């Protein structure tokens, strides 16, 4: 079945460090790909998305490119801030219907940024 694999965490970085969080997926169709972020005590917020191969999603300094050849959607940020500390989830939509209402998530990774 469809699945998302995220790198093991947690990740601890110093402020202004470069961030990469790896995400690979397995899907039989053509899903859209997402990064969601969860701050403590809150629900998930959409960070960015890409709907087809070679699309780049970007938001708040974060970027991720939909790489079909490597089935990857790695999240990057050039300079992290303390406020970026949260749990990050990679997800894909239903690859057959394209519906974003049925998402498959990775396990999530906790990012801590120290001043």
Partner 1 sequence: KAGVTQTPRYLIKTRGQQVTLSCSPISGHRSVSWYQQTPGQGLQFLFEYFSETQRNKGNFPGRFSGRQFSNSRSEMNVSTLELGDSALYLCASSLLGGGQETQYFGPGTRLLVL
Residues that bind partner 1 (CB under 8 A): 32, 36, 41-46, 49, 51, 89, 91, 93-94, 97-108
Cα 16 from Cα 14, distance rounded (Å): 6
Q: Least CB distance from residue 100 to partner 1, whole Å?
A: 6
Of the pair 10, 115, the CB lying nearest partner 1 is at 10
Q: Least CB distance from residue 62 to partner 1, whole Å?
A: 16
Q: Least CB distance from residue 17 to partner 1, whole Å?
A: 26
Buried b (16+ CB within 10 A) or exposed e, 30-49: ebbbbbbbeeeeeebeebbb
Of the pair 13, 44, the CB lying nearest partner 1 is at 44
Q: Least CB distance from residue 99 to partner 1, whole Å?
A: 5
Cα 1 from Cα 26, distance rounded (Å): 8
Of the pair 34, 74, the CB lying nearest partner 1 is at 34
Of the pair 5, 17, the CB lying nearest partner 1 is at 5
Return the biggest CA–CA distance within the chain.
44
Query: How far does CA 56 lie from the centroid of its chain?
Result: 12
Cα 23 from Cα 25, distance rounded (Å): 7
């Amino acid at each position: 079945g469809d699945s998302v694999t995220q790198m093991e965490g947690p990740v601890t970085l110093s402020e202004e460090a470069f961030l990469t969080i790896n995400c690979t997926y397995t899907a039989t169709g053509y899903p859209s790909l997402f990064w969601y972020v969860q701050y403590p005590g809150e629900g998930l917020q959409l960070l960015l998305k890409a709907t087809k191969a070679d699309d780049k999603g970007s938001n708040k300094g974060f970027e991720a490119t939909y790489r079909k050849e490597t089935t990857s959607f790695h999240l990057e940020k050039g300079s992290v801030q303390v406020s970026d500390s949260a749990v990050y989830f990679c997800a894909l939509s239903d690859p057959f219907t394209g519906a974003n209402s049925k998402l498959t998530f990775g396990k999530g990774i906790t990012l801590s940024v120290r001043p």
